[in-house]
Amino acid sequence: MKFWVAPLAVLAINLLLGGCGDLGLHRRRASPNGIALGGQDREQPALSGQGEWLASVVERNGRQTLMMQAQPSGIEVPLQSLRRFQPHDSPSLSWNGRYVALVGQERGRRRVLILDRASGRLMPLQLPRDLQPEQLSLAPDGRRLALAGISRGRRLVQVFDLANLIEPDLPRGLAIGSMANPTLP
């Protein structure tokens, strides 16, 4: 009965001293060589559902700017249509990175913007006039958006249905109809 005590003790000591790294649970670096991609200070990272795209906010020319990169290569993808809406804040990506949602600014007013990278179409989301957006999260298929903001001095969270604005961004090989009534285990 005592033959299993020694290996169990060794495992416990390894977990306490080294964490789970020796069990095959390794962190994936943001770039192939482990340095900060782009060599800039970055914040507010958002990873697409399948992990192929990374969006983050960097400072360029004194303005908060969204940077989007392919993973793991680190190749930057230009997002020209978003330039006039700086500073950028709170990026979120759909499953394949087709849709990029963020909080931007236009004429001093914060706006929620959704960029369809497939078509190049930029869609400003119409919000109640007194709602100031702060943070958002796009559903993996891109059809719903959760938004945290301030309205009349109160913090609130609202969910917006985007199904009439955009088509779903589904994982490769998944039919559109299969998402209509998902079943939970």
Tokens of 152: 């009349």
Domains of the chain in sequence order: 40-169 (2.120.10.30)
What integer pLDDT is reported at residue 170 of this predicted model? 84
What integer pLDDT is reported at residue 38 of this predicted model? 53
Strand order across the 99-106 sheet? 89-93, 99-106, 109-116, 121-125
Q: Is the pLDDT of residue 60 over 70?
A: yes
What integer pLDDT is reported at residue 101 of this predicted model? 97
| Strand positions, DSSP E, 139-180 | 144-151, 154-161
Mean pLDDT of 103-116: 95
What integer pLDDT is reported at residue 39 of this predicted model? 57
- Write the burial class of residue 173 (CB in 10 Å: 0-12 exposed, 13-18 middle, 19+ buried): exposed
Q: Is the pLDDT of residue 100 over 80?
A: yes
Mean pLDDT of the chain: 80
Q: Which of these, 6, 9, 54, lies nearest to 28 by C-alpha position?
A: 54
Mean pLDDT of 152-168: 95
Write the pLDDT tens digit of every residue in 2-18: 554 455 454 445 444 44
Q: Is the pLDDT of residue 138 over 70?
A: yes
Cα(11)–Cα(169) distance, integer angstroms: 43
Q: Is the pLDDT of residue 58 over 90?
A: yes
Cis amide leading into 182 (omega within 30): no
Write the pLDDT tens digit of every residue in 122-134: 999 999 989 999 9
What integer pLDDT is reported at residue 41 of this predicted model? 85
Q: Is the pLDDT of residue 23 over 50?
A: no
What integer pLDDT is reported at residue 171 of this predicted model? 82
Looking at per-residue pLDDT, the higher value among 93 and 1 belongs to 93
What integer pLDDT is reported at residue 17 of this predicted model? 46
